[in-house]
Amino acid sequence: MSAHEARAFVVGKMFTYQCFEGTRGAGRIMDNGAVAGTVQFRGNGATRYAMLPQNTIRVVGDRVCATVKGVPFEPCFNLIKTSHNSFRGSVSGMGFAYCDFVRRDRPVIASAERPRGRPIASSSAPMELQASSSTTATVPVESKELPPAAADEKPELRSTKD
């Protein structure tokens, strides 16, 4: 993939990733080159949330490169599209150091399926709420005190709909 194709493919989309040495996580590259997501180094230990500032990832000529504080050089990447929703990224000159990225259109942790055949509401128009046959109505319960039971009487269930 060229740098401009890669930019169009990844910017604003959520990807999970798995790297050659076990590091894994999920994240998103913003339009301004900022990165936000999770990382679990070498596949064990705590999963950490990380945010990298704008211009961390950027297009330099026909290459995608990164500027990361504490890294003494500016790594650039070879990007190979592996399917319609995935790619492999490796550090230029070090093909063994790669990560596989898979695009996730829905949140990975939690998702809700919508009923099939019903349109998704537009975010620009108000949503109509209609009760369906599976909707259960809730009715407030009136609070009443029950008369005290006699000492020798066993408690019984009584209706509050008198």
Q: Distance (Å, rounded) from C-alpha 45 to C-alpha 39?
A: 10
| Domain contains 82 | yes
Indicate the length of the chain as a whole number. 162
Question: Is 157 exposed, middle or buried (CB count within 10 Å of its CB: 0-12, 13-18, 19+)?
Answer: exposed
Tokens representing 156 are 């019984």
Q: Parallel, antiparallel, or unpaired: how do β-strands 57-60 and 63-66 relate?
A: antiparallel
What pLDDT, on the 0 to 100 scale, is given for residue 72?
A: 87
Question: Could you read off the pLDDT of 13-56 as tens digits, one per residue?
Answer: 999 999 999 999 999 999 999 999 999 999 888 999 999 999 99
Say what the pLDDT of residue 71 is.
84
* pLDDT tens digits along 100-124: 999 987 654 544 555 555 555 544 5
Region 63-88 average pLDDT: 90
Domain count for the chain, please give it.
Answer: 1
Output the CA angle 25-28-29, nearest 5 degrees.
Answer: 130
Query: Which domain CATH number covers 10?
Result: 2.40.128
- Residue ranges making up the domain that contains 46: 3-104
Q: Does any domain span residue 158?
A: no
* Assigned domain for 51 exists: yes
Within a domain: residue 159?
no
- Distance between first and last Cα of the chain: 75
- Share above pLDDT 90 across residues of the chain, in percent, rounded to a whole number: 41
